[in-house]
Amino acid sequence: MKTYKLANTDLEVTRMAYGTWHIGGDWDKVPPSDAVRDRAKGLITAALEQGITHIDLADIYTMGKSDLVVGEALAQHPGIREKIVLQEKCGIQLGGDPDFGQPQRFDFSAAHIVKSVEGSLQRLGTDYVDILALHRPDALVEHEEVAKAFDALHSSGKVRYFGVSNHTAMQIELLKRYVDQPIVVNQLELNLLHNHLISDGILANMSGYAYNNVTGLLDYCRLNDITVQAWSPVAGGRLFNPAADAPDNIKAAAALIAQLAEQYNVSKEAIAFAWLLRHPAGIQPIIGTLRAERIATSVQADTVELTRKEWYALLEAARGESVP
């Protein structure tokens, strides 16, 4: 798989990363079964065999068990740690953690950030993560606290670089005012159906156009050398086999994806990923699957270069209307 240097770092990353949202099994505190552990080993091995060297995690994924099984899987590959990029996210506290009756909430306090990272390191069986991203914006964020945590984690060698997820341009600007480390990634929902980041620029100054805090975000990230990572890049599979009662735009997008997949002799997944990879922003999609064969079919996107006509045809189909 093709790689590139992540801006403002010395990290060489693959164009696509592997995400571990459900890899740890159920979202509870029951230890993962042997079957779940074996599945994780197979999935991580499959990702590595396909050339993927960037793995995306979060402390809350299956309540910490994703960290655990990924760590166990990586232990099966001696010497691999220095060849891969591990990315963690933190800041979300699930409802009922640690006590039932508490609301889901966000916590960017220094104590929580540091504790989260240290817990992930222990579960992963490593001394450091390459990137730590703040998962979702905390309405009660005190940026001095974030700066304190970043400084402690960076100086101790536990985190090499920092980023954010689901953050707006102004939230990043405010954060940058306090932290000394560059913000190198922003992980955002982006796919053919959830195309707001891209449509934003096309639909500028049109009446009736409004997406929540999207305006200028993609351009802002490009301007500031912040790599946009796309989560849910294939819209949860809705682009491939739409239900009979699915909206017309989804059916149209699925039909065109199928046509292009046959034309390029690749999977449908590859076409959906290729649409993101074709954008000059250098968007890095996060593959999220529990099937090894889908990792293989997804990375076929690395070989596809959609034409401008094909790229816009997909956007038109997904939007259900042409561009202005």
Query: Residue 257 has which token pair?
Result: 């994806």
CA atoms of 319 and 303, how far apart (whole Å): 26
For 162-209, how does the pLDDT look when each residue is reduced to its tens digit (9 = 90+)? 999 999 999 999 999 999 999 999 999 999 999 999 998 888 766 666
H or E segment and range at residue 257: helix 248-264
* 61 included as an active-site residue: yes
Q: What is the pTM of this model?
A: 0.94
d(CA 163, CA 86) in angstroms, rounded, equals: 13
- Name, of 93-97, 196-200, 273-277, the range with top average pLDDT: 273-277
* Residue 94: predicted pLDDT: 84
Tell me how far apart the alpha carbons of residues 84 and 20 are, in angstroms, rounded to a whole number.
Answer: 15
Selection from 79, 107, 14 nearest residue 299 by Cα: 14
C-alpha 260/C-alpha 265 separation (Å) is 8
Which domains, and CATH codes, for the chain? 3-239+269-306 (3.20.20.100)
| Catalytic residue selected from 4, 18, 61, 312 | 61
27-59, pLDDT tens digit by residue?
988 999 999 999 999 999 999 999 999 999 999
| Greatest C-alpha distance within the chain | 57
pLDDT of residue 307: 98
Q: How confident is the model at residue 212 (pLDDT cuts 50, 70, 90)?
A: low
- Average the pLDDT over 267-272 and give the result: 98
